[in-house]
Structure 1
Amino acid sequence: MQNEKIINYIKNWLDNYLVKTNLNGFVVGVSGGIDSAVTSTLCAMTKQKVLCVEMPIHQDISQVTRAQQHIAWLKSNYNNVSSVEVDLTPTFDAFKQGLPKTNSKREDLALGNSRARLRMTTLYYLAGLHNYLVVGTGNKVEDFGVGFYTKYGDGGVDLSPIADLMKSEVYSLAQTLNIIDVIQNAEPTDGLFGDSRSDEDQLGASYDELEWAMQYEGNPEELSSRQAEVLKIYKSLNSANQHKMKPIPICSIPSEFK
Structure 2
Amino acid sequence: MPWLLVLPSLVLAFAVIGYPLYEIMRLSVADVSRFGQVRGFVGWGNFSRMLADPVFVAALVRTLEWTVAVVGGTVLISMPVALVLQQDFWGRGLARTIVMLPWSVSLSMAAIVWLWSFDGNHGMVNTTLQSLGLLSGPVQWMALPQTAFPVEIAVGILVSIPFTVTIFLGGLSSIPGDIYEAAAIDGATRTQSFRLLTLPLMRGFLNIAIVLNVIYVFNSFPIIWVMTQGGPDNSTHILVTYLYELSFRLGRPGMAAAVSLAMLVIVFAFTMVYVRMQSREAA
TM-score w.r.t. length of structure 1 = 0.25
Higher relative contact order (CA 8 A, sep 6+): 2
Question: As a proportion of its length, which structure holds more strand?
Answer: 1
Mark the structure with the bigger radius of gyration: 2
Question: As a proportion of its length, which structure holds more helix?
Answer: 2
